[in-house]
A = this chain, B = another copy of it.
């Protein structure tokens, strides 16, 4: 909170344009001793030029050694210490699909699953059904009504959905209902504090009604709920930093976390880097700050697809001239965390980061955007929560502290 006090006090407005380009899970690992990471292996002439002209560093998403989830990692990039501001997965998912979660609402993330005739889970993701298959099933769930509360249910993507319950006396300390394995039934919604008993009971009723609705579905005949949570009432990004801020992201969760901090979520056609940069171009005059999110660096990392991740990075680099043609005053390129293909998972390693700002940057002596180069960069190793103050400073948007 202390830092927001100073950001609120010191920020000033000007006509500068700032871009935070996040390649999800950017950081990587070599697959053989002495070999390159994904970013180092990628052919990135544009990013290398920005590295030469700009300054490099490594960001620590949460704390040294902590492996971040995507929600906390993005909060950190936006300047919010995620150990101070905890946001539930239910709220993140609901916000991402445009459901507004207010104080007193209880949001949950749902996964469709398959149960056998004994009621035991046989597939925790319902055969990973497609969004097209899932949509009519979601419509059935939208028919459910429970006296005393209102409900809003939306598909997130494929087998994942969000459900929000509104009414009097609801609290969200409820355990996940996913047993995290197959061959056993789903768990009941259990309150972990007395104040949440009513919401837990109502969610149990909802699940019973939902199971009845879906009993004849071949794959998605049951569901688990997790991440029960309510509005975290986050301080708002535009107020803290004095920025009109847009989120340009394909995936719901990143739109969700951006919405929670008060960015405007912009829709656009397509899903490739060039499509996202085109959206930025169209909106260029309407905002001061653009958060642009590239998902597939993370997905390929999670799949253990080193070459695939390299290709995604190269596709971003190839599209980059479109973004640079807009003449941003400050461009930061980083990831929210590392997802080394070798580990097929998020990891604790720090994240390569770059700030390019033609008018204000102090260049270091690095000429390549990569993990090893970033360990030698002029920004050193720093908490991701410092990135926003650094971007504002490079945009001449922070007043002098003291005389």
Chain A residues with a Cβ under 8 A of chain B: 2-3, 6, 10, 27, 29-30, 33-34, 37, 53, 58, 62-73, 82-83, 86-87, 89, 92, 227, 340, 343, 346-350, 360, 362-365, 371-372, 375-382, 386, 389-393, 398-403
Contacts and interface: CB of A to CB of B under 8 A. Distances in A.
Contact of A348 (B86, B381, B393, B402): B393
Contacts of A360: 343, 347
A378 B92 CA distance: 33
Contacts of A227: 403
Contacts of A400: 67-69, 346
A180 to B, nearest CB: 13
Contact of A29 (B83, B362, B380, B403): B362
Which secondary structure characterizes the binding site on chain A? Answer: loop
Contacts of A364: 372, 375
Contacts of A68: 400-402
Nearest 3 pairs of A and B residues by beta carbon: A65-B389, A69-B402, A380-B381
29 contacts: A2-B83, A6-B66, A10-B66, A27-B362, A29-B362, A33-B53, A34-B363, A63-B386, A63-B389, A65-B389, A65-B390, A65-B398, A66-B393, A66-B398, A67-B398, A67-B400, A69-B400, A70-B402, A71-B403, A82-B401, A227-B403, A346-B400, A348-B393, A365-B372, A365-B375, A376-B376, A379-B381, A380-B381, A381-B382
Given A30-B363, A375-B378, A64 B402 contact: no
Given A30-B363, A70-B402, 20 more contacts: A6-B66, A10-B66, A29-B362, A30-B362, A37-B362, A63-B386, A66-B389, A67-B401, A68-B401, A69-B401, A69-B402, A69-B403, A73-B402, A227-B403, A348-B393, A348-B398, A362-B371, A365-B372, A380-B380, A380-B381
A132 to B, nearest CB: 25
B72 A402 contact: yes
Contacts of A67: 393, 398-401
A378 B378 CA distance: 13
Contacts of A340: 362
Residue with the highest number of chain B CB atoms closer than 10 Å, among A67, A87, A343, A400: A400
A66 B376 contact: no
